[in-house]
Amino acid sequence: MADPETAQRLAAVCSSVEKIRGRLLNSPAGNDDILEEVLIAARSDGEIAGPVDVLHAVLQALGDAQGLYSYSDNGRTVDRGVHPAGIDRERPAEAVYLCPAARCARFWWPQGPVPVARCAISGEALRWDRL
| pLDDT one-digit tens code per residue, 54-108 | 999 999 999 988 999 998 764 443 333 444 555 444 445 678 999 999 989 999 9
Q: What single-letter amino acid sits at 109?
A: W
Closest to 108 (Cα-Cα) out of 91, 122, 126: 126
* Prediction pTM value: 0.71
Mutual angle of helices 33-43 and 17-25, in 10-degree steps = 150
Q: Has residue 55 been placed in a domain? A: yes
Q: Has residue 81 been placed in a domain? A: no
Q: In terms of residue numbers, what domain contains 58?
A: 4-71
Q: Report whether 54 contacts 24 (CB < 8 A).
A: no
Judging by beta carbons within 10 Å of its beta carbon (0-12, 13-18, 19+), is residue 42 exposed, middle or buried? buried
Q: Has residue 78 been placed in a domain? A: no
Q: Has residue 42 been placed in a domain? A: yes
Which H/E stretch holds residue 23?
helix 17-25
The tally of domains found in the chain comes to 1
Q: Has residue 34 been placed in a domain? A: yes
Q: Has residue 85 been placed in a domain? A: no
